[in-house]
Structure 1
């Protein structure tokens, strides 16, 4: 009976050691071959539609979700007071191909030159912004292969590559001033890394969560 009990205990200990060894190997392998984070999101370059001159907005044919092409006329301002040579500057044109994702004003309002009337984004040029811990940045370089998973598309994987590694941490752009007194708590800083999709074949939404795994070997 005692021998049987010893055998069972030994088997349990062996199973525990194998499990711990497997877990340890898993973390070692991933740390040696990948840099991963869940602190990532689908991103894009937001482009503002702005008037060249100030005046009353007479027409503005822009709706959220509209697809427009570059230089498409979207509206016009009151031309009173403008010289004939400047009439064209009262027209509102799409600055790029893309989708209007935010409308900021309505017809009949007075708008100033350079103010944002709407915001566009090109869905063909979306990318991933991943925030990588500062201690891991030295393992990265442009061109590395990346596995991407997006919460919006559960179970689907995307491929990408590292396009750009930030030259400053996110905290460097913070509007909050650093404390000059009191206790100091060291916080691991994160650096933004831009990841380009190899193929963007889905209806991705800017701002949605993502997880990435960068191949470093």
Structure 2
């Protein structure tokens, strides 16, 4: 009976040692061959649609989710002093081909130049913005292979490459200072890294979460 207990204890200890060793090897491999982060999102360049002149918005012929082509007329506004030119300033057009992701104008309101009427994005030019800790940045280089998992499609793996490593931390562009003269707490800064997909996928949604594993070896 005692011998059986000893064998059971030895077996449990052996299993625990193997398990801890496996975990250690896994984390060593991950840290040695990858830089990983869950602080990443699917992004795209947002393009705003704005009127050229001031006036009442008479028509807005798009809804959120609509696909438009470049130079397509999206709406029309009233003009108090029309001018004889080849370009009709009362209409506003799509600056790019893409999808309307936000409609902000309302028919009947007075709009002015620079005011955003709608936001467009090109679904074929989406990318990943990953925020990498400054202590790991030395290992990141342009062209490195990246494995990408999107929360929207957790059962799929996408591939990409590092396109651009940011030249300033995210806190550089913060509206509020990160510390005052009286207090200081050192915080690891994060640098934005742009990752391009190897193949575009217009089913992805901008702003959704992603996990990236950047191959550094």
TM-score bracket, shorter-length normalisation: over 0.9
Separation (CA, whole Å) in 2 of partners of 1:179 and 1:139: 28
The alpha carbon displacement at 1:8 in A equals 3.3
The alpha carbon displacement at 1:95 in A equals 0.4
- Specify the alignment match of 1:199 in structure 2: 199
Separation (CA, whole Å) in 2 of partners of 1:63 and 1:7: 71
2:124 touches 2:202 (CA, 8 Å); kept in 1?
A: no
SS class of match (1:163): strand
Q: Render the CA deviation track for 1:24-59: whole Å, top value 9, x for unaligned.
A: 111111101001111111111110001111112222
SS class of match (2:148): strand
Q: More displaced, 148-157 or 11-20?
A: 11-20
The alpha carbon displacement at 1:9 in A equals 3.0
Q: Where do residues 54-73 of structure 1 align in structure 2 (5 Å cutoff)?
A: 54-73=54-73
Q: Where do residues 67-216 of structure 1 align in structure 2 (5 Å cutoff)?
A: 67-85=67-85, 88-201=88-201, 203-216=203-216
The alpha carbon displacement at 1:201 in A equals 3.2
Q: What RMSD over aligned residues (CA atoms) do the two structures have, in Å?
A: 1.6
1:73 touches 1:94 (CA, 8 Å); kept in 2?
A: yes
Separation (CA, whole Å) in 2 of partners of 1:141 and 1:181: 35
Q: 4+ residue runs of structure 1 moved beyond 6 angstroms?
A: none
1:79 touches 1:87 (CA, 8 Å); kept in 2?
A: no
SS class of match (2:152): helix
TM-score using structure 1 length: 0.93
Q: Render the CA deviation track for 1:156-204: whole Å, top value 9, x for unaligned.
A: 1111111111111111111112332343222111111111111123511
Separation (CA, whole Å) in 2 of partners of 1:124 and 1:87: 30
SS class of match (2:39): strand
Runs (5+) with no aligned partner, structure 1: none
Separation (CA, whole Å) in 2 of partners of 1:6 and 1:107: 83
2:162 touches 2:193 (CA, 8 Å); kept in 1?
A: yes
TM-score using structure 2 length: 0.93
The alpha carbon displacement at 1:87 in A equals 5.2
2:171 touches 2:189 (CA, 8 Å); kept in 1?
A: yes
2:123 touches 2:201 (CA, 8 Å); kept in 1?
A: no
Separation (CA, whole Å) in 1 of partners of 2:20 and 2:30: 15
Greater helix fraction, Structure 1 or Structure 2 = 1
